[in-house]
Structure 1
Amino acid sequence: MLKAVILIGGPQKGTRFRPLSFEVPKPLFPVAGVPMIQHHIEACAQVPGMQEILLIGFYQPDEALTRFLDAAQQEFNLPIRYLQEFAPLGTGGGLYHFRDQILAGGPEAFFVLNADVCSDFPLGAMLEAHRRQPRPFLLLGTTANRTQSLNYGCIVENPETHEVLHYVEKPSTFVSDIINCGIYLFSPEALKPLRDVFQRNQQDQQLDGSSGSWPGAGTIRLEQDVFTALSGQGQIYVHLTDGIWSQIKSAGSALYASRLYLSRYQLTHPERLAQLIPGGPCIRGNVFIHPTAKVASSAVLGPNVSIGEGVTIGEGVRLRESIVLHGATLQEHTCVLHSIVGWGSTVGRWARVEGTPNDPNPNDPRARMDSESLFRDGKLLPAITILGCRVRIPAEVLILNSIVLPHKELSRSFTNQIIL
Structure 2
Amino acid sequence: MLKAVILIGGPQKGTRFRPLSFEVPKPLFPVAGVPMLQHHIEACAKVPNMKEILLIGFYQPNEELSRFLLNAQQEFKISIRYLQEYAALGTGGGIYHFRDQIVSGSPEAFFVLNADVCSAFPLAEMLSFQKEHGEPNSFVILGTTSNRKQSMNYGCIVENEETNEVLHYVEKPSTFVSDIINCGIYLFNPDIFQHIGTVFQKNQQDMLLEEPTNGWHRAEAIRLEQDIFTALAGQGKLYVYKTLSFWSQIKSAGSAIYASRLYLNQYHTTHPERLASNKEGGPRISGNVYIHPTANIDPTAMLGPNVSIGTGVTIGAGVRVRESIILHGATLQDHCCVLNSIVGWDSTIGKWARVEGTPSDPNPNDPYAKIDRKGPCCDQSPQSTTPCIG
Q: Same fold (TM over 0.5)?
A: yes
Whole-angstrom CA distance in 2 between matches of 1:70 and 1:253: 28
- Structure with more contact order per residue of length (Cα contacts < 8 Å, sep ≥ 6): 2
Whole-angstrom CA distance in 2 between matches of 1:341 and 1:375: 25
User: Could you tell me which of 378, 384, 387 is aligned with 1:384?
Assistant: 387
Q: Is the 8 Å Cα contact of residues 153 and 380 (structure 2) preserved in structure 1?
A: no
- Count of aligned residue pairs for this structure pair: 383
- Asked if residue 348 in structure 1 is aligned to residue 342 in structure 2, the reply is no
Q: Is the 8 Å Cα contact of residues 361 and 367 (structure 1) preserved in structure 2?
A: no
Within-5 A mapping of 1:168-187 = 168-187=170-189
Whole-angstrom CA distance in 2 between matches of 1:276 and 1:154: 44
Q: Which runs of 5+ in 1 are unaligned?
A: 388-420
> What's 2:296 paired with?
294
Shift of 1:191: 1.1
Shift of 1:229: 1.1
- Asked if residue 368 in structure 1 is aligned to residue 369 in structure 2, the reply is no
Opposite residue 4 of structure 1, the aligned amino acid is A
Deviation track 1:17-43 (CA, whole Å, cap 9, x = no partner) reads 011001000000000000001000000
User: Could you tell me which of 140, 145, 154 is aligned with 1:143?
Assistant: 145
> What's 1:64 paired with?
64
Whole-angstrom CA distance in 1 between matches of 2:354 and 2:215: 55
TM normalised by structure 1 equals 0.88
Q: Is the 8 Å Cα contact of residues 136 and 190 (structure 1) preserved in structure 2?
A: no
Shift of 1:63: 1.1
Within-5 A mapping of 1:226-305 = 226-305=228-307
Deviation track 1:11-69 (CA, whole Å, cap 9, x = no partner) reads 11111101100100000000000000100000000000000000000001111111100
> What's 2:47 paired with?
47
Q: Is the 8 Å Cα contact of residues 119 and 246 (structure 1) preserved in structure 2?
A: yes
Shift of 1:230: 1.2
Q: Is the 8 Å Cα contact of residues 248 and 370 (structure 2) preserved in structure 1?
A: no
Q: Is the 8 Å Cα contact of residues 245 and 370 (structure 2) preserved in structure 1?
A: no
Q: RMSD value over aligned CA atoms?
A: 1.6
3-state DSSP class of the match of 1:156? strand
Opposite residue 372 of structure 2, the aligned amino acid is R
> What's 1:159 paired with?
161
User: Could you tell me which of 200, 205, 208 is aligned with 1:206?
Assistant: 208
Identity of aligned residues (%): 70
> What's 2:31 paired with?
31
Whole-angstrom CA distance in 1 between matches of 2:74 and 2:154: 36
Deviation track 1:357-396 (CA, whole Å, cap 9, x = no partner) reads 23333347675352336999xxxx8642112xxxxxxxxx
Q: Is the 8 Å Cα contact of residues 155 and 170 (structure 2) preserved in structure 1?
A: yes
> What's 2:328 paired with?
326
Q: Which runs of 5+ in 2 are unaligned?
A: none
Opposite residue 379 of structure 2, the aligned amino acid is E
3-state DSSP class of the match of 1:265? helix
Q: Is the 8 Å Cα contact of residues 118 and 247 (structure 1) preserved in structure 2?
A: yes
3-state DSSP class of the match of 1:188? coil
Whole-angstrom CA distance in 2 between matches of 1:249 and 1:269: 25
3-state DSSP class of the match of 1:217? helix
Q: Is the 8 Å Cα contact of residues 205 and 213 (structure 1) preserved in structure 2?
A: no
Whole-angstrom CA distance in 2 between matches of 1:6 and 1:96: 13
Q: Is the 8 Å Cα contact of residues 135 and 236 (structure 1) preserved in structure 2?
A: no
Q: Is the 8 Å Cα contact of residues 136 and 188 (structure 1) preserved in structure 2?
A: no
Whole-angstrom CA distance in 2 between matches of 1:39 and 1:248: 13
3-state DSSP class of the match of 2:51? strand
Whole-angstrom CA distance in 2 between matches of 1:374 and 1:125: 30
Q: 1:195 to 1:212 in 2, by over 3 A?
A: farther
Whole-angstrom CA distance in 2 between matches of 1:283 and 1:135: 50
> What's 1:417 paired with?
none
Whole-angstrom CA distance in 2 between matches of 1:210 and 1:130: 43
